[in-house]
Amino acid sequence: MIAEKYVYFFGDGKAEGNVSMKDLLGGKGSGLAEMTNIGIPVPPGFTITTKACIYYSDNNKAYPFGLEEEILEHLQKLEDAVGKKFGRGDNPLLVSVRSGAKFSMPGMMDTVLNLGLNDKTVVAFAKKINNERTAYDSYRRFITMFSSVVLGMEHKDFEFILDEEKEEQGVELDTKLGAESLKDLVYRYKEAVKSLRGIEFPQDPMTQLKMAINAVFESWDNPRAVTYRKLHDIPHDMGTAVNIQAMVFGNMGDNSGTGVAFTRNPSTGEKIFYGEYLLNAQGEDVVAGIRTPHPIADLQSQMPQVYEQLTKINKILEQKYRDMQDIEFTIEDGKLFLLQTRNGKRTAQAALKIVVDMVSEGMITKDEALLRLDPNQLNHLLHPILDPSAKYEISAKGLPASPGAACGKAVFNADEAVEMNEIGDNVILVRQETCPDDIHGMHAAKGILTARGGMTSHAAVVARGMGKCCVAGCSDIKVNEEAKYFTVGETKINQGDYITIDGSIGHLILGKVDMIKPSLSSDFGTIMAWADDVRKLKIRANADYPHDAKVARDFGAEGIGLCRTEHMFFEKTRIPIMQKMILATKEEERRQYLNELLPMQREDFTGLFKVMDGCPVTIRLLDPPLHEFLPRREELMVEIANLKCKNPNDPELAEKETLLKRIEELHEFNPMLGHRGCRLGITYPEITEMQARAIFEAACEATNEGYKILPEVMIPLIGDVKEFNHQKKIVNKVAKEVMEKNNLTIDYMVGTMIELPRAALTADKIAQEAEFFSYGTNDLTQTTFGFSRDDAGNFIRYYLDNNIFEKDPFQVLDTEGVGELIKIGVEKGRSTCPDLKIGICGEHGGEPSSIAFCNSIGLNYVSCSPYRVPIARLSAAIAHLKSKKC
């Protein structure tokens, strides 16, 4: 049996892999291979492929045939490359074991450094480097990381021991502990393992290596990694590679160090070399926030030759990858080594600036710039900022780790952040420093505040990726996570107290501060212009009021795709009239109250038409069942019971009993499939008449004032073409009357929403009468799945957690089922009316993958909420560019 190749070597200026092998070697492994091939100094090592991880996960934690032999073979090759022996000899080989999936998942999976140390090799290592302190510092770090990653212990199991040792020695920093203190820590750490895990710390290096490889494989499915993939739409079946690499040591003294750098500023996109480093440290010290690092510019004065080499490599890598790179490096006794390069995580603001600048620099094309952007990231540009006119006192300062401002109740652990968010509280997650297990709390929070850490700490990197405001390294605060408070000087802030943070400048303010929406940069306008030049889909907005329409138009909407007229009736001055109309038992009474509503609705439509001057406005006639405008049945029954007890003769009692009787008459067991939509207009044609009259009177009024009006009247919930014809006849009759009265001719259209499977399946007949289709994907999803969208939330999450559904179909269009009905409707509709205008107006109209589907089946437009219009514009452009590549 010939074994499949699962291990790829890199070293001595040559690698078996390259940058094109991310699927197999992961981002880290392919990056290490590519850097090796182009002559950048990289410690040698080998990568175990993602296929091995997938096999391990799918086969009860068993290795595929031949993997163990390949690992041993490549370990021998690594020994030969560095002239050291793993686990033996007077020059022992130590390795790092790191995860590395195809897509970057900062901090989500596991890493072990200094593997191969034991009670014997630490002595040989100390003698070889002539530095007992570095050797035992590396050993105690290894015990901590291995025990955490592999044995399931927690960092705090060792942190209190370290704190005790520092206190006993009278030092503040672990770098000030001497060799004897570190030897004592190693002993105490091993005793902690024995006490808490009931085992001796593993001394056999091969056992250590296999356990670490298994732990990295298993970290692919740890809760924080699964959560991260769900948040970032990363498939769950890709697996992670494992990178085993010869250690280089940044903790050998002040001529050594470690750092993280970016070829451009990941917060602003500015073209400057950006990053942080620590001397006499190992990699986890920078990202864990244990010590506050130095800005990379300081390295120029401390190690000028290393800094010059690093800046040259920075330029080489950016030119090679044609994108902003995130690099990790270690300096061992004055010699520079690169440990990683990957496309760097960046804020939305930085993402736009970087691609615009790279187009100007001739590095990428406009099309490439658009394809590199994540449309959903545009949401992050709409963060609130502190009101410049607000008066407040800055209580503490930290690092501006992720832009934007946030206000909320202080909360000190991730689980409680989620719980408080679910009951409607805005929260700020406050931590000494965050760790990967906090990801769900960071997602729930409005912002993150940490006492430790730098600009490349876990909190900073993850917050930027999420678009969350973050202030990191705020050393002025003292956080007590267990007691749930922090202090600033003499002031104590308890859980639930309001605080405000400004992640753009690193400020903490106690209490609430007013905020305003930000203005968008010129880079945003440039990207939107490029997107508009490319896309084929038109972008409209769902807007019910003139204010919403203005916001939408300012964001580039090309019309209104859905005006929900029922929302206008819920206003305080209108709902009593609407209720009287519903309670009326005779048509004459209903018309009386409808006549009172007519000028109000006409005024609303006039405002919409004026704002959307020259753009189409699609107005949906009344859709919800009438009971939605009446008090809740149960609440009214309680009020009646109370009145009967207090004053049975109260005249209000008779009114409420009449109201209850009407509510009982209108009660339906399944109102979403009941008396609503066009069915209301058919049984109460006077409602359709009033709304049509308001639309066309408003159109005439705005036309007379010089505006260009393009009204589109949309009949909801059609299941049969005869329903449509009934309503269309009323609309046309009223339109003719109003236009003749005003001596005007206005071009208008009458179309329908396709929300029912039957409408999609009979679209050829409906298209012979309707002038446009708009798919109401919220209701079409509901009626296709047989789910009540009001109740499905009770079990949808279970479906998602148990992989029954990959996505919530009310958020992301179900292209296999609902999408197939849309496709059938499009094909059938255009078979009888080739020029039929078709769009969608459900929530899916602002979701990128759903927009891509709409583009693929030839829709004319999508309609979404006003604040998602930029996302839709960019998504439509990306969808068209990708379709051209297929």
Which residues are catalytic, by number? 458, 841
Q: Which residue is listed with tokens 């922090």?
A: 486
For residue 508, give the nearest of 491, 520, 531 by alpha carbon.
Answer: 491
CA distance 350 to 472: 19
Max CA separation in the chain (angstroms): 103
CA distance 882 to 872: 15
CA distance 858 to 852: 10
The DSSP bridge pattern shows strands 394-397 and 507-510 to be antiparallel
CA distance 199 to 197: 6
The answer to whether 751 and 772 have CB atoms below 8 angstroms apart is: yes
Q: Which residue is listed with tokens 């070697």?
A: 25
Contacts for 481 with CB less than 8 Å, ≥ 6 apart: 412, 413, 431, 432
Length of the chain: 886
Task: Sheet with 335-343: list strands edge to edge.
Answer: 294-295, 274-279, 257-262, 325-332, 335-343
Which residues on adjacent β-strands are paired with residue 99? 242
| Helix, coil or strand: residue 847 | coil
CA distance 516 to 850: 31
> What does R_g of the chain's alpha carbons equal in angstroms?
32
The answer to whether 778 and 847 have CB atoms below 8 angstroms apart is: no
The answer to whether 751 and 770 have CB atoms below 8 angstroms apart is: yes
Beta strands in 233-314 (DSSP E): 240-246, 257-262, 274-279, 294-295
Specify the amino acid at residue 323. D
Contacts for 377 with CB less than 8 Å, ≥ 6 apart: 348, 351, 467
The answer to whether 705 and 613 have CB atoms below 8 angstroms apart is: no
